[in-house]
Every structure is written in C-alpha cells, then in structure tokens.
Structure 1
Amino acid sequence: MRNFSDSWALRTLPWCLMTALTAGSLGVHAQVTAPVAKSSAVMATGLTLKDLVRQVREANKDIRSKRAEKEIAQTGIDRASAAFQPVATLSATNGVNRQPNTYEEKLVRSNQALYLRDGQDYSAGVSQLLPTGAKLEAKTTLSRFITNINQLDGRPEGAKDNRTFMGLTLTQPLAKDGGFTVTNARTDVAELDVAVAQHTQFETESSVVAEASLAYYELVLAQHRVAAANEKIRTSQRLLTEARSLNRQGRLAEADVWEIENALSRFRAGLSEAVQGERERLNRLNTLVMAATGTGLPTWRASDALPAVVKPSSSAAAEASVRLALDSRHDFLMQKKLLEREGVQLVYAQNQALPRIDLIASYGRNGLAYSAQTAFSADTMRNYPTWSMGLQMQIPLGENRQGRADVASASLRRENALLAIKALEVQIANDIDTSLNMLASASERWEFWQDVARREQQQLDVEYKRFAAGRSEMREIMMREEKTVNSRLMVIEQQVAFAKAQIILESAQGVLLERWPS
C-alpha cells in the first residue's frame, strides 16, 4: 500500500475525487428510476409498452394470419347453412320422336306403321331440406305435344294436347340422416370451427403480446446496461486523468496507471457489447411489428418506468389463479370447443352407421286440355288426383364395416380431445406454479440485491475515507466503483425480472390482454 500522507496535495486529492464521483453514486433507488443514457447519437423516439402492444396487435404477421383464418372459418357457416336454402330446378326441352310401331302397337294406334310425337316439355320445381332431415319438393310439369295418332280425333288444325301435373313429394329419413341433431350437425360443426378459430386467434394474440412485453422489458434492461457501462467509463476516465497527473509528478507508479487503463478498456468493451445487446432487442421488437431497421423508421427507446416490486400474495392465490386460467385461457377454451366438436362428429358417425329407411309420400293432380291454362285450372285437375306412400330401405348385406370404422374413428378422436384437455389442465397448474414462484423469487432476489447495493455503496464511501487517510490505493477505488455500479445494475435486473414474471403470470392466467382492451 502506498502512503502519500507527507504531501498535503495528495491528502486532499481523494476528497476531490470522492466529490466528483459521488454524483455518479447517489444510491440504488435513484438509479432505478433515473433516465438511462443514450447509446448512440441518433435521436430516439420514446416507446411505451401500451404503444408497442397496439402496434403489435395491428401489424404482427401471426396475429393477422389468425384473424384471416377466423374469417375463413366463418364462411363455413354459410356453406353449411346453404343446405337449408331452397333450390329451384327448371327445365325445358323441345323434340321430335319418330319410331316404328310393333304389331301390338299398331292395333292400339289406329293401325299406323309408325309413331310420331312432336312437342315441348317444361318442368319447374322447388326443393328444400327441413330441420328433421326431410326433403320436400314441389313440382309442376307441362307437356305440349301432338302425335300422328291424336291428329285423327277431329281436333282443330294444329291444336296440341297440354298435359299438366302439380304435386308435392316428401322424403323423410327414419334412421340414417334423420333427426334434428344429425341434420344440423354440419352447421354445429361450422359454428364450433369458428369458435375454435376465434380462441386460436386470441391465444396467438396473447402469446405474441406476451413475447412483445417481455422483449420490451429486455430492451429496458439493455438500456440500463448501456447506461451502467457509460457510467463506468466516465468514472474510469476521471480516475485515469488524475492517475496520469500523479504519475507525471512521480507520485504514482506506472503500473497503477496501467491498471486503470486496462479497466477503461474493459469498460469500453463492455459498452460495445451492451450497445449490441440493445440493438438486438430493438430489432426483435421491429420484427414483431413487421418493421425493418434502417428504412427511415425512428429508433425506439423504452420510456415506461419499471413497475414497483411488491411481495407476492400467499400460496392460496395458486388455486384462484388456476381457476381463473381455466375460465380465461383461450387455449383451454379452444380445447373444450374441440371436444364438443368431436362429440357432434361422433353422434353424426353413429347415425351414419344406421341403415337407410326413408318414408316417401307424394300427392299431386293432373290435367289435360287443348289450352295450357285450362289444363292447369282447378276444375280440370280436381278429378285426376294421384298419390303414393311407402318405405324405401337400403341396408348393407353383412356387417356395416364402413359405419363401424367411422364410429370407431370418431370415438378415438373424442377420447384424444378429452386427453388433450386433461393434459392442458396439468400444464396450466404447472404454469401457474412456475409463474408464482418466479414472481416470488424475483421479489426475494430484488430485496437481497438491494442490501448488497447498499452495502457496496457504504464500502465505497469507507474506501474513499481510507484513501483520504492514505490507507488505500486508486485501484481499490476503481474496483469498488465497478462493484457499486454492478450491484445497482443487479437491482434493476431483478426489477426487470419481476416485471417479466408478472407478464408470464398474467399470460398463464389468460388475462394478459385485459391490460390493453382492444
């Protein structure tokens, strides 16, 4: 240890140094809330976490992609409900039929050698699927024709027969495809697909917002690291100036000057690394908002103050957090919708495994006259009713292998969806436990590092007094200054860790987006 007590100037020098350096060592709490130094000469634009979240929700590729997928899923409802849309069927044909008569046909066709028909046929119908699975069809037909046979009955020149029909046909499935549940299955599945897509969108949005929030606090920490590196450089530069002055006067060894020069080089290297880390975190935020660095965009600078560190609540909060997550997390709600969807698919598959048994009923009336209007009149058609009723069956011979396979497949998919829910419940419980312990650990570490930083500051003050009394060296002052700055930075790191733990906890609970309602 070098003793400079014989020189009045050297005895007063430490007090001058201490006065100059104390301004950079005012205490832990002041460092946490003080604005950090800029890492470059480029003017930066202040960025709050709220503004970042807004930009992310508007511009992020993943969020926009999930919104598009939800809109695509919504079109499925229209496709499914289109099955209940009435369908009109229209047809019109014009033709001539010329064919020879058999011997028997000659007997009933006035002994004509051939049969000639010239006419037009029209039909119009409307059919619709009903919620019971029945298909109802209303149909009317008109045939305007003349033959070489009916020309012999003394009709007016060129007059044609007009044969008409109006009727209803109802086909009601009694087994396969029958019932409200099965008929509405496609619409129910489409609506569940929309719900799944919406939960997927919100889950993606929550994940991206959580990622952006964590990146924001990492940028805050990177800025503090740059500020700490700058503070170390300023301190070492002041010490180096004094050390060189003393060395020129022969009062300080060259090795002590080298020691401070080495420290200054280390600090400058640390500043370069800190600036690079800040750049990387800034580019990470730019990526999240689909912005390329260097395209005329202003440089962002996190401007929000770090949240205060508080002691987390009791362990009883874990159960409440799990219940909150089960009610709020969109990935869990999405899995519940998927389970419901697979249940609908299972019921549909079980129905499709049944034999087809359809009740078919029809009723109509016919008309015939030289005039189409007369042929369609009620007076003409009332005397010519036609109706039928019966069953139509289609049953596979032997075992229905396809139906059995479809039911087994649907049942396994439902079991798989149920297993996914159980697994997600376990994951949620573990996520909550990890988040709460992360929050408690960050709070505990913050308190410990507060004590460390306070003691480091006290030791620095003591070291200055010892230096003033000639019982210490400048290199010891340099080391104590560095440890003091590092301890204050560690306090900030724990405060950032606490802020990030809050984000992770709110994300695990599924309530992160409630911070910034859209």
Structure 2
Amino acid sequence: MSNLRSLIFALCLSIGTCLSLAAADDMPANAEPLSLARAIELALAKNFSIQVEGYDAAIASARVTESLGKFDPVLSGAYTTSGNRNPLLTFDPTSGDRNTTYDTADSYDVGVSGLLPWGLTYRLGASTTNARGTFNGYADNYDSFAGFSGTQPLLRDFGFGPTLASIRIARTNRAISEWQYRQTVIDVITGVTYAYHDLNFAYAALRTATRSRDLAAGLLDENEKRFKVGSMSEYDVTAARSRVAGREEDLLSAERQVRNAENFLKQLISDDRTPALLGRRLALEPPAPAPIVVVDAAADFRVALEKRPDYQQAKLSLRRSDLNSRLQRNQLLPRVDLVGSYGYNGLDADRSASRRQVEDKDYRSYSWGVVVSVPLTFTTERGRYRAAKLQQRQAATSLEQVEQAIVVSVGNAAGQIETAQKRISANREARELAQATLDAEVKRLRVGQSSTFFVAQQQELLSIAEVREAAAMSDYHKALAEYDRQLGLTLEKLNVTLDTPK
C-alpha cells in the first residue's frame, strides 16, 4: 500500500509538471506572433518618440533654408504722390492776403536689392519723378534715374565670417538635430530590446509560477489522500493547502507582470491610441541564444567617440559656440562703411524722352564716401562677447564631461556583460542542484524519511532558482543591447539605415 501511494504521488507530480509546462508554452488564443526583429521594425515605423524627434530634425533643416533666404534678392516697387502749399513773405496788394505757391509730385520707383556673402548690400533700380507747380507753371518735369548703389562694411560685418555666421550656425544646429534623431532611434530600439526580453522573462516567471502552483496542488492532493487513509497528519494537509494559496497569489502577480510588460512593449511599437491597444496580446518568438562575447572597454572607447551621437552633438555644440564667439568679436569693431552709387540721369518734359536720356547714358551720376559709426562705450558688444567666450568654454567643458561619462558608461556596460555571463552559469548550476535536491527529497518522502514541509520548501527553492536563471538570461540579452548603445553601434549591428527627416 505504501508503494502504491508513493507511485500515485509521483504520477501526480509528473502529470502536474507536464500540464504546467504545456500550459506555459501555450500563448493566449488571440495572441499576435512577434519576433524581436519585427518589434524593432514596428517601432521604427510607429513609435511616437521617433516621430516627434523627426519633426525637430525637419524643423532644424527648415531653419537652414530660412537662413539662406538672407541672400534672396528682393524686388520692390513704389508709387507716391504728394502736394504742398507753401506761404510766401509777400502779400497780394489788392486783397492783402499772403501769397502762396503750389507744387505736386508723382514718383515711380522699381528696384532689386539684396545682400552678398561678403557683406555688401546693394540696390539696382530706376525711378522717375514728375514735379510741377507754380514754380514752373505746372508744366510736366520728368526727372529719371537708373543705376546701382551699395554699402560695403570695412570693419564690423565685413567678410564671409560675420555674413555667413547665421547660416553656419543653422547648419550646425541641423547636424545636432540629426544626431539627436539618431540617438532617439537608438534609445527606442534599445528600449524595445529591453521590453521584449522583460516580457519574455515575465512569461518565464509565469511559467515557473504556474508550475510551482501545480506542484503544490499535486502535493496537497496527495496529502489529502494520505490523510484519508490515516498515513498523514492534518497538519501536513493544512500546510500544503497554505502553500497552494501562497502559490496562487504568486501566479496572479506573475500574470499581472506579463500584462504590464506587454503594455509597455506595445506602447513602444504601436501608434494605437484607443483602449483596444490594451486588449491585444503578444506571443513572443523564443529569442535566439545570445552569443558569448568578450568585450574590451578600453579598446572600444575610441569607437564610442566616433559613433556615439551625444559625443558628436557635444563637438558640434563647441563648434557652434566658436562661431558665435567669432561673430561677437567682430561686433566689437567700429562700423566703417564704404558707400557709393553709379548711374545715369534724364530730365525732360516728356516721360519717354526722360527715360531715353537714361538709356542713352548721356548724363552720368555717381557718388562715394565713407560712413563711420563708433559707440562710445561698446558696453553691449563687450557683454555679448564675454558671454560668447564663456559659452565657448562651457561647451568645451561639456565635451570633456561627455568624454568622461563615455569612459564610465562603456566600462559599466562591459562589466554588466561579464557579470551576466557569470550569473547565467551560476544560476544554471543552482537550478540543476535545486532540481536534484527536490528529486531526492521526493524520494525520501516516498520512503517516509521526509515531510510535506521539506518537499514544498524544495519546490519553492527550485522556483526561485528557475526565475533567477531566466532573469540572468534576460539581463544578458539586455546587457549586449546596452553595450551596443553605449558604443553607438546599435543601428549598424541591426543594419538600420536612417533617412534624413524632411
């Protein structure tokens, strides 16, 4: 009878184990199959963080176009009319009223103006003014001019540097935004990798919790049967029932962790904004075994300096500060401008004749000169230059700070890989030993040398060992993804090509 009871107990344990493993492998009926590669593909297409950062990069590109517009020629035209009534010092001898004069004028003007890269502002245009009044018996008097005028700075705002500074800064900002966009994509892909393996671990923990609950239930069933035949005390039955209740709570918690991990992953890979998102279930494809890699943080440090977006952004920020510093230094100079004009005049009672004189270039007109403007204190300019120099030093210090942070983060990421590898080995051995111990304890129970308490205790230790091994495997996958992120190699490893946002 004792051997029969032992056989029944062993069958219950084995059947419970098989059922739990089979149930654990079954995904929800409405689950959506998902591989890590597919999850990353969905994130690249639908993740909101990537989309938002893409707008910033596109806006920075539009700012470059805006800055180039400073060199666009401007076509302008104007028509004005004016009239004046002016008093004279003489009086009408008949009425005694003060004599007055009248004059009117109609002006037409058209021209093209703009800025050239070395700082010259120019205007090419033509104008005609018809002035008439009492001074000429109200006869038409068309005064025409066509020619060129310009102002060339000689000190402040002279040359390509000050004129092109805003464009160069805008292009630097665009490059910074493109690197930031790249950083966001890397972060999202790494986050998806983390979330995928976290969900995979949550499923593993659920399987373990289910198996642990089923083992405890099998033990309770066997204890109840043995209690009925008088071969076990009521205490053992109560203890087994308490274990089942505790494992049931663990199972509910594991199920909640699966749903939470699912929702987090779905948030990264979907643009669904309806409650239907919460109802979707994911069936993960088993991740491929992670390769055993040997990393060298010291050797990979140079790779990180070349590939990491945050370091490239810091270098570009330093360049931007340098451009601004040079611009503000130029603004400390006094303004000395060379001004001049050259063209041709026409004057006739007939408008067409006046314009023909301009076309025939019979009456030349020119002027040139120098305009000097010197602030007495340069207070504003000195303040701006000092602030620009401080910003330049700040950017240089920030670059050094980022470089130091890269040293630490790459070293830490390498350490995580090494630790995770050791944890996998240690937890695998611990799980195998826990399984062997449980098997031995079950054998002792069969021959009456153990108790329900010790079997349940070994079941719990086995569950803990299984969860730890699954956690170590998940952490190792995440450590590899983190190391690629710290080196800036995530996109290259996955063969992801980014298009510049438009």
Task: State if a TM-score over 0.5 links the two structures.
Answer: yes
Q: Per-residue CA shift, 1:374-401, capped at 9, x if unaligned? A: 212257753321212221110122x322
The partner residue of 1:303 within 284, 295, 300 is 284
Contact 2:145/2:358 (CA < 8 Å) preserved in 1? no
2:183 touches 2:310 (CA, 8 Å); kept in 1?
Answer: yes
33, 47, 50: which one pairs with 1:63?
Answer: 50
The 1:35–1:101 alpha-carbon spacing in structure 2 relative to 1, beyond 3 Å, is farther
Q: CA–CA distance in 1 between the matches of 2:288 and 2:6?
A: 38
1:140 is displaced (CA, Å) by 1.1
Specify which of 47, 62, 85 is matched with residue 34 of structure 2: 47
Residue equivalent to 1:3: none
Alpha-carbon distance, 1:144 to partner = 2.2
Q: 1:264 to 1:186 in 2, by over 3 A?
A: same
Out of 136, 143, 153, which is 1:173 matched to? 153
In structure 1, stretches of 5+ residues that fail to align are 1-8, 104-111, 152-157
- Cross-structure match for 2:379: 401
Deviation of the 1:82 alpha carbon: 1.4
Q: Could you tell me which residue of structure 2 aligns to residue 231 of structure 1?
A: 211
Aligned to 1:483: 461
Alpha-carbon separation, structure 2, partners of 1:237 and 1:139: 97
* Cα deviation, residue 292, structure 1: 5.7
Q: Deviations over 1:347-389 (max 9, x none)?
A: 1101111100111121111111222222122577533212122
Question: In structure 1, how many angstroms separate the alpha carbons of the residues matched to 2:179 and 2:445?
Answer: 65
d(CA) in 2 for partners of 1:310, 1:49:
16
Indicate yes or no: 2:325 matched with 1:346: yes
State the one-letter code of the partner of 1:320.
Answer: A
Indicate if the aligned counterparts of 1:50 and 1:516 stay in contact, CA closer than 8 A: no
| Distance change in 2, residues 1:53/1:380 (3 Å) | closer
Distance (whole Å) between structure 2 residues aligned to residue 343 and residue 35 of structure 1: 64
Counterpart CA distance in 2 for 1:348 and 1:255 is 87
Q: Give the C-alpha shift of residue 25 in structure 1.
A: 6.5
Q: 2:198 aligns with which of 182, 203, 218?
A: 218
User: Contact 1:135/1:172 (CA < 8 Å) preserved in 2?
Assistant: yes
- Tell me which residue corresponds to 1:36: 24
Q: Is the 8 A contact 1:374 1:380 kept in 2?
A: no
Q: Which residue of 2 aligns with 1:336?
A: 315
Match of 1:461 among 439, 442, 450: 439
2:232 aligned residue (233, 252, 255): 252
Does 1:240 pair with 2:236?
A: no
Give secondary structure in 1 for the equivalent of 2:276. Answer: coil
Of 404, 429, 435, which residue of structure 1 is paired with 2:407? 429
User: Does the 8 Å CA contact 1:11/1:470 hold for their aligned counterparts?
Assistant: no
In structure 2, the residue matched to 1:80 is 67
Structure 2 distance, partners of 1:259, 1:49, is 43
Deviations 1:465-518, CA, capped at 9 Å, x for gaps: 333444333443333333233322221111011011112111111222332615
TM-score by length of 2: 0.89
- Per-residue CA deviations over 1:35-91 (Å, capped at 9, x if unaligned) read 93468x663222322333333333333332222222222222222111101112211
What residue in structure 1 maps to residue 80 of structure 2? 93
Q: Using the alignment, how far apart are the partners of 1:396 and 1:43 within structure 2?
A: 76
1:169 aligns to what SS in structure 2? strand
Superposition map of 1:362-511 within 5 A: 362-378=341-357, 382-397=361-376, 399-511=377-489
Q: Which moved more, 1:284-293 or 1:173-182?
A: 284-293
Secondary structure of the 2:24 match is: coil
- Structure 1 residue 95, shift from structure 2 partner: 3.1
Name the amino acid aligned to 1:421.
L
CA–CA distance in structure 2, aligned partners of residues 499 and 259 of structure 1? 39
1:14 alignment counterpart: 6
Q: Secondary structure at the match of 2:114?
A: strand
CA RMSD, 1 decimal: 2.6
Q: Could you tell me which residue of structure 2 aligns to residue 115 of structure 1?
A: 101
Q: Secondary structure at the match of 1:363?
A: strand
AA aligned opposite 1:58 = A
Secondary structure at the aligned position of 2:56 is classed as: helix
Deviations 1:188-223 (A, max 9, x none): 111111111222222223223322321221111111
Query: 1:128 Cα shift?
Result: 1.2
- SS state at 1:36 partner: helix
Q: Quick check: 1:309–1:443 contact (8 Å CA) kept in 2? A: no
CA distance in 1, matches of 2:409, 2:277: 41
Equivalents in 1 of 2:429, 2:356: separation in Å? 103
Partner of 1:327: 306
Superposed counterparts of 1:130-279, under 5 Å: 130-151=116-137, 160-279=140-259
Structure 2 residue runs without a partner (length 5+): 91-97, 498-502
1:100-125 C-alpha deviation (Å, 9 max, x unpaired): 3457xxxxxxxx95433234111112
Provide closer, same or farther for how the CA distance between residues 294 and 384 of structure 1 changes in structure 2, counting only shifts above 3 A.
closer
Structure-2 change in CA distance of 1:23 and 1:342 (3 Å) = farther
Which letter maps to 2:2?
L
SS of equivalent to 2:76:
strand
User: Number of paired residues?
Assistant: 486
Distance 2:491 2:173 in 1: 23
Contact 1:225 1:489 in 2 (8 A): yes
Measure the CA separation in 1 of the matches of 2:44 and 2:327: 38
Distance 1:287 1:296, change over 3 A: closer
Q: Which moved more, 1:17-26 or 1:173-182?
A: 17-26
Using the TM superposition, name which of 431-440 and 81-90 deviates more.
81-90
Please state if 1:517 is matched with 2:496.
yes
- 1:125–1:292 CA distance, 2 compared to 1 (3 A): closer
Instruction: Normalising by structure 1, report the TM-score.
Output: 0.87
Aligned CA distance change for structure 1 residues 160 and 131 (closer, same or farther; 3 Å): same
Structure 1 residue 251 displacement after superposition: 1.5
- Rounded to whole Å, the distance in 2 between the matches of 1:182 and 1:361 is 22
Mapped to 2, the partners of 1:82 and 1:210 lie a distance apart of 40
Distance 2:16 2:389 in 1: 70
Could you tell me how far 1:412 is from its partner in structure 2? Answer: 0.5
Amino acid at match of 1:359: L
Q: Which amino acid in structure 1 is aligned with residue 250 of structure 2?
A: G
1:23, distance to aligned residue in structure 2 (A): 6.3
Between the aligned partners of 1:265 and 1:238, the Cα distance in structure 2 is 13
